[in-house]
Chains A and B, each alone.
Chain A
Amino acid sequence: MERLPILKIGQMLLVSIQVDLRDDMVIALQEDLADRIVETGARGVVIDITALDIVDSFTGRMLATIAALSRVLDAETVVVGMRPAVAITLVELGLSLDGIKTALDVERGMRLLSSARGTAR
């Protein structure tokens, strides 16, 4: 089965979603990510969905689940690069992804994570 690569950058993990998501990939990603956070002791997760142009309620819930999961493992999640069409779809689906941090691009997302960690210390 195809698995999404999880890259470690400093104290953060970066997941860049470049392909159309299938439900089994999403579940695998959740498992992998949990493993990697524990393994690396990462404090932040950046999920880049710039290339994602179709979302459904399952994908929306996946983002919420990943965020909740990382929070339990003491890591912050930032979703970056959401396209306008995707954002509109999620709003129309009634998924406002409360409690998830968002940023316009990867750079801003990483800055957001490091500044949040800075203030926490």
Chain B
Amino acid sequence: MTSEPFGDLIDRCRAAEDDLVRRWRADVAASLRGRISEIELDKELREILDAVLSAVASADGADTRSAAYGEVRALLVDLSRGRALQGFSPRETAISVFALKKAVRDSVGTGPEFTAFSDVIDELGLFTFESYAKTREEVISNQAEQLLELATPVVKLWQGVVALPLVGTLDSARAQVVMEKLLQTLVDTGSEYAIIDITGVPAVDTQVAQHLLKTIVAARLMGAECIISGIRPQIAQTIVALGIEFGDIATKATLADALLLALGRIGVDVTAEMSKRGL
């Protein structure tokens, strides 16, 4: 059974396939402005056209959700995923599909069956856009995760002294990661002093202070001492205004001061250490 709504459109498309792909490619290439090579594009579009024509010619040709469109959907997911990852805009991605409509109209001509074909392309265009958005969402959530890991390096400053330079806003989720990472590093390196540098933290509110205090108390329980450094003047003002008490926790204005304090408590003689290493 051939699908009625499309008439002989499919056969005419098949006959004019080369011309169709050329026109389609020209439209898509214009919108992409040379960021994908013509050969690559040609291959991609030919595959999609072939799959679309086969699907339209099948029994369920009018229903883009049917099994016949499985291959088309897979190709479109690939296309939109690729475009999303390469940083193309939604418009540039959608046009890759919608331009087929114009190519068919110009190459094969319109007719009553063109409306049905146009509907199919619209559906496929929407589908492409949906998977484009989905890929972008994945990219964003991946980046958020990576950021969480990247933004919390624990640096060894001296034998027994580690530093944790905090950069960015400290929310509960991040504070938890930071806390676990710092405490684990203390165990792994056997460090007795940890310097938490908050130069890169844009604002300190009661919640951030609470997280910091918890980390410090936990470190104390494990037998390590924390020093907070990098307190900017405005941050100091906020801390006082909010009535946050750091108690007997040592706080220093700069990382250098904090390191000096830690070295002093350990009892390191820097000059002696340098001459020992021949510096």
Q: Which residues of A contact B (CB under 8 A)?
A: 78-80, 82-84, 86-88, 90-92, 96-97, 101-105, 108-109
Contact = CB atoms under 8 A, between A and B. Distances in A.
Nearest to A100: B221
Given A88-B180, A108-B192, A102 B220 contact: yes
B217 A96 contact: yes
A102 B221 contact: yes
A92 B222 CA distance: 15
- Summarize A's interface: helix, strand, loop or mixed: mixed
A82 B217 contact: no
Contacts of B179: 88
Contacts, number: 58
Nearest to B184: A84
Given A104-B190, A105-B190, A84 B224 contact: no
B221 A96 contact: yes
B214 interface: yes
A108 B223 CA distance: 9
B224 A88 contact: no
Given A104-B223, A109-B223, A87 B192 contact: no
Given A102-B220, A104-B224, 17 more contacts: A79-B221, A79-B223, A84-B184, A84-B186, A88-B180, A90-B221, A91-B214, A91-B217, A91-B221, A96-B217, A96-B220, A102-B221, A104-B190, A104-B191, A104-B222, A108-B192, A109-B223
A84 B223 contact: no
B75 to A, nearest CB: 48
B108 interface: no
Contacts of B186: 84, 104
Given A91-B218, A102-B220, A102-B222, A84 B192 contact: no
B214 A84 contact: no
Q: List 5 tightest A-B contacts by C-beta distance, closest first.
A: A84-B183, A103-B223, A102-B223, A87-B218, A87-B221
A79 to B, nearest CB: 8
A109 B224 CA distance: 11
B219 interface: yes
B190 A87 contact: no
B187 interface: yes
A97 B180 CA distance: 19
A98 B192 CA distance: 18
A80 B217 CA distance: 15
Contacts of A79: 221, 223
A90 B192 contact: no
A81 B76 CA distance: 56
A83 B190 CA distance: 12
A83 B217 contact: no
B219 A87 contact: yes
Contact of B192 (A92, A101, A104): A104
Nearest to B224: A104
11 contacts: A82-B223, A83-B187, A84-B186, A84-B187, A87-B183, A90-B218, A91-B214, A91-B217, A91-B221, A103-B223, A108-B192
A118 B192 CA distance: 20
A102 B224 CA distance: 8
A105 B187 CA distance: 9
Interface hub of B187, B192, B217, B223 (most chain A Cβ within 10 A): B223
B248 to A, nearest CB: 11
Nearest to A86: B221
A67 to B, nearest CB: 12
Contacts of B222: 82-84, 87, 102, 104
Nearest to B182: A84
A88 B220 contact: no
A83 B179 CA distance: 13
